[in-house]
Structure 1
Amino acid sequence: MQASLLMTLSMATFATNDMLTKFATQSIEPVQIMALRGAMASALLFAFAKWRGAFLSFAVLRRPVVLVRAVADICTTLCYLNALRHLPLANASAIFQALPLTITLGAFLFLGERVGWRRWTAIAVGFVGVLVILAPGAEGFNVYGLWVLASVVFAAMRDLATRRMPPDLSSPQIALVTSVAVTLTGFSLLPVEGWRPVPAQVWATLAAASVTLACGYALIVSAVRTGDLSFVAPFRYTILLFSILLGIAAFGERPSLRETFGSLIVVGSGLYALHRETRGRAAQDRG
């Protein structure tokens, strides 16, 4: 129960971060958010790494897998921020829930992991749910949903690269290096996008977003370390509920029946795929 509560709290903080970031996108460009929020988050991560006594060095970027992870996280952030500016919170969150299915697909294609027909079916059904949310060809189609889908692909690449990380690299070091890479990318793109004046309210919003982002990562690590992963993982989908509630409260968003139905398909297929993966690992352990 403690682990499930920690996971649920982490999803609440991530949803809050999305809400705060969406507020900021109404005043400044996404690359400014990458730069400013990234600088604040990097400072928090640096303090956390020093507190944990983690060895810090940017020489780790010479390792291909770390570089791939950093580039993938940069692309994930760019795509998601660009989409979040134009999409309802619930829609962006629902499409992003296809990430576990995309990771399963990527693990089969690039890591040689075995995927049974039931999980293949879950992957197919999950992406049908994404199409229901996107509604291609319908009047409600929003092209920015494709940006979320692109962020899902890059996030899967990031997480698959994380699986290949050597054990001598600490989590705080990897997180800090990636955060700094995202921050520097944001600053490097500012001459292209231009700089908008940042009101005091937006500074406060970005500071709060940085704190919620850091807390979310800390809570999710604690949740995974406290409880059994097969029990804790399904609570990740509570982020969709928080996104719906925050979208209604902060922006007056109301998901349509079609969007709600598509979200249920994505979540249901993800839960089933997780169930099959857990059963498969249990069978291997018994063998």
Structure 2
Amino acid sequence: MKKNSFSVKDHFKTQEVFQLKWNEKWDCYETFPKPDLKEIGKYYESDNYISHQEKSKSVKDLVYNWVRNYMLKTKINWIEKEVNSKKKLLDFGCGVGGFVRRANEKGFKAIGIEPNEKARNLAKDNQLEVYSDLNEIKEKKFDVITLWHVLEHLHQPSEFLKEINNSLTENGKLFIAVPNFKSYDAVQYKEFWAAFDVPRHLYHFSRKSISILAEHNGFSLKKTYPLKFDSYYVSMLSEKYKTGSSGFKWIWQGFKSNYKAEKNGEWSGLVFVLQKG
């Protein structure tokens, strides 16, 4: 994908057109114009915004929720490999709290932050400790902080990572999951690639982007893990955006994306393990 400006439509909700412009400093794309904090909420207001759903409504949602439950187990396994014991964990952007609940069940002392009031209240209804922002939390240091597909939604990701660094213990670990615009499915679908998801996604990262941001904000990159299901789900949505129907081509595209990623490491979605210092 060329490093220049190109147009992408909000296929999910408004059909508005936004520009993706190249950010040389962070080696990433930025969405323009960026809705401010007062405006951005309206782009999330939909019964179909699946990350805030608890109950399945369609076959697609059922499959999504099965994969989500499988990935909850997988994420916990990754964390257990990277930390020495069950410690204090903060899940930023926790939605309705599925990961917070699973982490607590596995022995972590886990809490969450969720700016969306509706999702946050659902989490609280399930007896989970969830706050609207960091300032509400009395405990200021965590051994593990997770950002599962959160960083791309933030207006100031670099400044946020600096703040997160200060919230980690001396050898704390930060787990970041983001879509990768250098993946095969991204290159194939171009402006129809569902993981651009403008304007909810304000920044669009790659492995190099995260490495630069990590080093700039006092982290060292320890490891990456692939999100192998992402290529299928993103390809399914992308195919619908491009042709009007998901059909079955997305299965082949998702498979090809993972096949190529096995060789070049450019998975559709990636998890980065960063260590403070």
TM-score normalised by the chain length of structure 2:
0.29
> Which is strand-richer, 1 or 2?
2
Q: TM-score, normalised by structure 1?
A: 0.29
Relative contact order (C-alpha < 8 Å, sep 6+): which is higher? 1
Which structure: greater helix fraction?
1
